[in-house]
């Protein structure tokens, strides 16, 4: 049986970043991915342009995540904030560019370049990535963990679960990590769709299907009181309403478990619409999953489980989600790096090379 320091389960945003981070620290690590290619969801991000983060301070970003996600993510984001993320990509050969709304993209505006960077870095740092390797079981052993896939069994001292949420299951994230977590004693927070549109009465659509309104403000009203406000696009779809102002509202509603609510939509020309949505679109259509492994059972300083020592989590498998604008990738990347830094310490490795003084390319071996 093969043995390694760290097995990373999932080759999405969090798992790929974790693999590269493990390489930066000189850990012996293996990334296992169920699909025949990694990063299926990453390739879809930002309409295939990949909105990597938002160009604001880490502290502002934490406020925008809100409770309970912001406080939980604080150690992760402070250790690898939006400016460090941009410097990291640049240092690894992919410059970033800031566009409208402070949204940060790779300068080529191609998600495939982000994926290629990760693949190149894994190869350069000699971190193996095994695709078409669906992990079927994760068990605790006396000295670590035993990970079983269809045709091999691997043992490691530490495991990082980065299997994603349950949205867009065709990309490979179907909730396996949450099920293993449950078997290993964790509580799961109920799944709700975050960043999704709403179905509405057909009369709301009024022959407007395909219309996109810009610079719209949406007031979320619950129990007769304004609960929050979002800004962005408002789009009339065949099945209902979407656009960033609406999807951000859906996340707020899911996070606060509102049952009774309405949306007051203020268009740029001064007109106002009041909508009482029938329901949200399903979680499989949401850009992010609200719910997952309960945050109070994970040490936010290290991302290690409080229930199962040696087991770490990063990315959307946890009950973390953010608004549109690159928050979710930032959360995946930052949590992955903090988890690997914590594992590195346990293996007697030093910290990451400072991003302040990073050379244009990381030094090759």
Ligand X SMILES: Cc1cc2nc3c(=O)[nH]c(=O)nc-3n(C[C@H](O)[C@H](O)[C@H](O)COP(=O)(O)OP(=O)(O)OC[C@H]3O[C@@H](n4cnc5c(N)ncnc54)[C@H](O)[C@@H]3O)c2cc1C
Residue from 5, 19, 22, 33 touching ligand X (CB under 6 A): that is: 33
Distance CA 289, CA 272 (A): 30
Would you count residue 194 as binding ligand X (CB under 6 A)? no
Burial class (CB in 10 A: 0-12, 13-18, 19+), 214: exposed
Q: Rule CB under 6 A: say whether 326 interacts with ligand X.
A: yes
Instruction: For strands 103-106 and 53-54, give the pairing.
Output: antiparallel
- Binding of ligand X at residue 173 (CB under 6 A)? yes
- Looking at 34-42, 68-76, 255-263, 268-276, which segment touches ligand X (CB under 6 A)? 34-42
> Can residue 13 be called a binding residue for ligand X (CB under 6 A)?
yes
To the nearest 10°, the Cα dihedral for 101, 105, 111, 115?
-140
Locate tokens 């894994």: which residue?
A: 122
Instruction: Draw the binding track, 282-321, toward ligand X (x: CB under 6 A; -: no contact).
Output: -----xx--------------------------xx-----
Backbone φ, ψ for residue 172 (5° rounding) = 115, -15
| Residue 225 exposed, middle or buried by CB count within 10 Å (0-12, 13-18, 19+) | exposed
Q: Binding-site residue total for ligand X (CB under 6 A)?
A: 39
- Residue 10 touching ligand X (CB under 6 A): yes
What DSSP state is assigned to residue 81? -
The span of 29-37, 55-63, 79-87, 273-281 binding ligand X (CB under 6 A) equals 29-37
DSSP-derived secondary structure letter, 224: T
Residues between 44 and 63 that touch ligand X (CB under 6 A): 44-46, 50-51
41 binds ligand X (CB under 6 A): yes
Q: Which is nearer to ligand X, 172 or 266 (CB)?
A: 172
Q: Is 34 in the site for ligand X (CB under 6 A)?
A: yes
242 makes contact with ligand X (CB under 6 A): no
- Which H/E stretch holds residue 219? strand 212-222
Q: Is 14 one of the binding residues for ligand X (CB under 6 A)?
A: yes
- Alpha-carbon gap, residue 52 to 10, rounded angstroms: 19
**Per-residue x/- track, 108-147, ligand X (CB under 6 A):** --------------------------xx------------
Between CA 308 and CA 273 the distance in angstroms is 50
Q: Which of 140, 156, 188, 59 is nearest to 309 (CA)?
A: 140
Q: Which is nearer to ligand X, 322 or 344 (CB)?
A: 322
Q: How far, in Å, CA of 331 to CA of 90, rounded?
A: 19
Considering the complex, state which of residue 204 and residue 328 has its C-beta at the smaller distance from ligand X: 328
Cis ω for the linkage preceding 61 (within 30 of 0): no
* Dihedral angle over CA of 170, 173, 175, 181, nearest 10: 160
Q: Determine, following the binding rule CB under 6 A, whether residue 89 of this chain makes contact with ligand X.
A: no
Contact window for ligand X (CB under 6 A) among 13-21, 59-67, 75-83, 227-235: 13-21
23 touches ligand X (CB under 6 A): no
164 touches ligand X by CB under 6 A: yes
CB of 148 to ligand X, least distance (A): 10
With contact defined as beta carbons under 8 Å apart, do 352 and 25 qualify?
yes
| Nearer to ligand X (CB atom), residue 82 or residue 315 | 315
Contacting ligand X (CB under 6 A), which of 145, 327, 352, 362? 327
Looking at beta carbons only, is 31 or 275 nearer to ligand X?
31
Residue among 244 and 302 whose Cβ is closer to ligand X: 244
Give, for 9, the enclosing helix (H) or strand (E).
Answer: strand 2-9
Count of alpha carbons within 13 Å of 102, Cβ hemisphere only? 13
Binding of ligand X by 11 (CB under 6 A)? yes
Nearest to 331 by CA among 357, 358, 292: 292
- Please give the residue ranges that form the binding site for ligand X (CB under 6 A): 9-15, 32-35, 40-42, 44-46, 50-51, 134-135, 162-164, 167-168, 171-173, 176, 287-288, 315-316, 326-329, 332
């Amino acid at each position: 049986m093969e043995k390694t320091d760290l097995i990373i389960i999932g080759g999405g945003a969090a798992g790929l970043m974790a693999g590269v981070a493990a390489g930066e620290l000189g850990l012996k690590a293996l990334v296992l991915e169920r699909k025949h290619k990694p990063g299926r969801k990453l390739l879809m991000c930002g309409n295939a342009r990949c909105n990597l983060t938002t160009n604001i301070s880490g502290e502002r970003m934490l406020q925008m995540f809100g409770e309970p996600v912001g406080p939980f993510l604080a150690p992760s984001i402070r250790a690898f904030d939006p400016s460090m993320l941009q410097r990291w990509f640049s240092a690894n050969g992919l410059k970033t560019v800031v566009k409208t709304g402070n949204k940060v993209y790779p300068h080529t505006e191609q998600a495939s370049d982000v994926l290629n960077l990760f693949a190149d870095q894994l190869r350069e740092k000699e971190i193996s990535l095994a695709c078409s390797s669906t992990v079927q079981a994760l068990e605790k052993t006396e000295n670590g963990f035993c990970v079983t896939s269809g045709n091999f069994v691997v043992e490691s001292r530490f495991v990082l679960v980065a299997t994603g949420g349950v949205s867009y299951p065709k990309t490979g994230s179907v909730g396996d990590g949450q099920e293993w977590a449950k078997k290993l004693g964790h509580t799961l927070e109920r799944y709700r769709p975050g960043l999704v549109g709403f179905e509405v009465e057909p009369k709301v659509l009024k022959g407007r299907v395909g219309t996109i309104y810009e610079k719209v403000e949406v007031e979320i009203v619950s129990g007769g009181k304004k609960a929050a406000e979002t800004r962005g696009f408002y789009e009339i779809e065949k099945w209902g309403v979407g656009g960033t102002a609406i999807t951000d509202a859906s996340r707020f509603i899911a996070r606060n478990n509102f049952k009774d609510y309405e949306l007051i939509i203020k268009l740029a020309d001064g007109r106002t619409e009041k909508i009482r949505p029938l329901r949200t679109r399903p979680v499989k259509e949401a850009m992010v999953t609200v719910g997952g492994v309960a945050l109070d059972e994970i040490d936010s300083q290290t991302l290690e489980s409080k229930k199962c020592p040696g087991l770490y989590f990063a990315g959307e498998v946890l009950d973390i989600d953010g608004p549109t604008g690159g928050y979710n990738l930032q959360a995946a990347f930052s949590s992955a790096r903090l988890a690997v830094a914590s594992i590195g310490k346990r293996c007697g490795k030093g910290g990451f090379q400072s991003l302040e003084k990073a050379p244009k390319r990381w030094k090759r071996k």
